[in-house]
């Protein structure tokens, strides 16, 4: 894996990120579990794209300025980073709160930088009949039971972890609580706004996810102007870890179906046509 680098964004905020591969820019956003949860996904996408994988400020020992207190702040920071670099035809892939961040970016993307979305078990919207599980009320075993299809395979109790890793997890959870704790794991306005997002949106969902259920995912996908739900058997909240081959295959299929252009040469008309084809195929 390439070494992380620091990129100044604001006077009091630098982004820590890794980059690999060439081609269409692809921003990959991790969930509450940290950048390790999307490392394999980043490596896969770097085979055919320019994969940009940041660490959310406050995770893994990175600095979070006091004003960065919501997912909307995070979404704007990443949009500003893409804009500052002059990137176009950007695919944004996000897992859990990373998917939420990607959705918040898309509703704010007045410049049309983003031309594709892949959201993996995202939180971020309120669905009346499908409440989001209170993650903060669960101990490690409870998280495993609700988040994984195969809890026995992935659960590691805190007593098995080195002290340094345990401290890092506590700090990551503290950052998660600041950014997503109130209102809990959602933006009350986001669901209504998604209908204005006119880019192909693939929502991948682990069939066994009980943090946010596939029924929640169906409502999320339906809210997009061009959204489609794809359920992955044998996986929970992080299908890219439990079923990586199926997850990567679904993303590769999405890319083949929606390819809009190549890097800075992408024509906005091509993006609109790709979105139209995607919507029609979803009907």
Radius of gyration for the chain, computed over Cα atoms and rounded to the nearest angstrom: 18
pLDDT at 43: 98
Average pLDDT over residues 198-217: 97
Average pLDDT over residues 206-212: 98
pLDDT above 50 for 181:
yes
Name beta bridge partners: 50.
25
Average pLDDT over residues 39-65: 98
| CATH architecture of structural domain 5-282 | 3-Layer(aba) Sandwich (3.40)
The upper half-sphere exposure of residue 184, i.e. CA atoms within 13 Å in the direction of its Cβ, equals 10
According to DSSP, residue 183 is labeled T
pLDDT at 248: 98
**In which band, very low, low, confident or very high, does the pLDDT at 207 lie, cut at 50, 70 and 90?**
very high
**For the chain, how many residues are written?**
283
In angstroms, the CA 4 to CA 20 distance is 10
pLDDT at 275: 62
Each residue's pLDDT tens digit, 236-269 = 999 999 999 999 999 999 999 998 544 444 455 5
Contact, 27 vs 56, CB < 8 A? Answer: no
Q: Which tokens belong to 171?
A: 């700090």
Give the chain's count of helices (H) and strands (E): 11, 8
Average pLDDT over residues 179-184: 96
In angstroms, the CA 32 to CA 6 distance is 21
Each residue's pLDDT tens digit, 63-104 = 999 999 999 999 999 999 999 999 999 999 999 999 999 999
Of 9-18, 108-117, 197-206, 253-262, minimum mean pLDDT range: 253-262
**In which band, very low, low, confident or very high, does the pLDDT at 177 lie, cut at 50, 70 and 90?**
very high
Average pLDDT over residues 13-18: 98
Please give the mean pLDDT across all residues of the chain.
92
pLDDT above 50 for 184:
yes
Alpha carbon 71 to chain centroid distance?
12
In angstroms, the CA 133 to CA 212 distance is 7
b/e code 51-76 from CB counts within 10 Å (16+ = b): bbbbbbbbbbebebeeebebbbbbbb
Q: Which tokens belong to 249?
A: 């295959």
């Amino acid at each position: 894996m390439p070494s992380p680098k620091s990129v100044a964004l604001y006077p009091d905020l630098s982004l820590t990120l890794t980059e690999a591969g060439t081609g269409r820019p692809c921003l990959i956003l991790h969930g509450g579990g940290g950048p390790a949860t999307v490392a394999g996904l980043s490596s896969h996408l770097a085979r055919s794209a320019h994969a940009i994988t940041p660490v959310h400020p406050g995770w893994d020992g990175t600095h979070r300025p006091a004003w960065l207190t919501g997912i909307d702040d995070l979404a704007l920071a990443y949009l500003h980073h893409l804009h500052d670099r002059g990137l176009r035809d950007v695919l944004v892939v996000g897992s859990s709160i990373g998917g939420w961040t990607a959705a918040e970016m898309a509703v704010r993307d007045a410049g049309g930088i983003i031309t594709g979305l892949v959201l993996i078990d995202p939180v971020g919207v309120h669905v009346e009949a499908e409440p989001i599980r209170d993650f903060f009320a669960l101990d490690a075993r409870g998280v495993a039971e609700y988040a994984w299809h195969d809890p026995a395979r992935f659960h590691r109790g805190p007593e098995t972890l080195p002290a340094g890793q345990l401290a890092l997890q506590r700090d990551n959870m503290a950052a998660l609580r600041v950014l997503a704790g109130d209102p809990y794991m959602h933006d009350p306005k986001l669901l209504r706004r998604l209908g204005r997002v006119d880019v192909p949106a693939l929502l991948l969902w682990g069939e066994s996810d009980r943090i946010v259920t596939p029924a929640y995912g169906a409502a999320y996908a339906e809210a997009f102007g061009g959204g489609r739900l794809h359920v992955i058997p044998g996986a929970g909240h992080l299908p890219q870890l439990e079923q990586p081959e199926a997850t990567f295959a679904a993303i590769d299929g999405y890319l083949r179906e929606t390819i809009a252009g190549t890097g800075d040469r992408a024509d906005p008309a091509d993006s609109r046509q790709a979105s139209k084809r995607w919507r029609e195929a979803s009907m």
